Structure 1
Amino acid sequence: MTRQVRRIDVDDPDVDGDYGQRLLYKGELFTGEAEEHLAGRRVSVTTYTQGIKDGPYRHWFASGVLQATGVMRSGFLAGEALRWHENGVLAQRLLYSEDGHIALAAFAWDEKGAPVSAWVRPDAEEGD
């Protein structure tokens, strides 16, 4: 038996936020996926648990090209997060602890794929 994921559109008039920057739907903390559209095209899908970003997310450029993907845990980036230039070349790779509390590494490339910057947490290299 497959569980149906609840999905809403962030532009729905029943969607709101509270002072804690949590997502509300019809006045209740939202659990499920929230989609955002621009000019009729989906530009993001973000997973929420009790109003907080928690789970996978995907963002697209208005052209439809994938822009970013990753996972949030209790509002923090967790694990690997990737971002692309609109031409499809990888722009950024971020690595965080699984709980999202520790940045482990960050790499960036220009639109031609040439490295721009690289940072690795010194103590992360020893344990990997």
Structure 2
Amino acid sequence: MQRIDIDDPAVDMDASQRLLYQGKLFTGEVAEYQGEALISLDGYTEGIQDGPTLEWFPDGTKRSEGVMRMGFVSGEYLEWHPNGTLASRQVFSEDGKRLKEEYKWDVQGNPTRTWRDSDA
């Protein structure tokens, strides 16, 4: 699978906000770096975010993790505080068009929000 750097001058977006590489819709992985540190890695299909989406803080601690399906979050999406404590957990419908559950925690791990769609 091809991997490109989002800051490569050959990366662009078209009028429909699809990712282009060397003028063509891109399929593969798109990485973003802060200095030498990898801070995000996203899958793309035909220019649309599709597949795993991962982010890290510059020190390497995981920041977020989920799966995109044709531009929408699908299933579980997790975010962490810089200290490694889970910050939020969201559960989306498979098509990504509906949030079904949301849970949030403060930096000490204390729950701050619990919500479930009554239709879920």
When the two structures are superposed, what TM-score results if normalisation uses the length of structure 2?
0.97
Gaps of 5+ in 2: none
Q: Which residue of 2 aligns with 1:108?
A: 104
Matched residue type, 1:34? V
Which deviations, in whole Å up to 9, do the C-alpha atoms of 1:82-124 show, x marking residues without a partner?
A: 0000100000000011111121011100000000111100011
Whole-angstrom distance in 1 between the partners of 2:37 and 2:84: 18
Q: Which residue of 1 aligns with 2:88?
A: 92
Matched residue type, 1:105? E
Matched residue type, 2:119? D
Given candidates 119, 123, 128, the residue that maps to 2:119 is: 123
Q: Which residue of 1 aligns with 2:47?
A: 51
SS of the residue corresponding to residue 74 of structure 2 reads: strand
Listed as ranges, the matches of 1:1-128 within 5 Å are 5-124=1-120
Whole-angstrom distance in 1 between the partners of 2:38 and 2:6: 11
Whole-angstrom distance in 2 between the partners of 1:114 and 1:90: 10
4+ runs of 1 displaced by more than 4 Å?
none
Matched residue type, 2:56? W
Which deviations, in whole Å up to 9, do the C-alpha atoms of 1:52-109 show, x marking residues without a partner?
A: 0011111001111000000001100000000000100000000011111121011100
Cα RMSD of the aligned pairs, angstroms, is 0.7
Whole-angstrom distance in 2 between the partners of 1:28 and 1:37: 22
Gaps of 5+ in 1: none
SS of the residue corresponding to residue 108 of structure 1 reads: strand
SS of the residue corresponding to residue 123 of structure 1 reads: coil
Bigger proportion of residues as helix: 1
Whole-angstrom distance in 1 between the partners of 2:4 and 2:68: 18
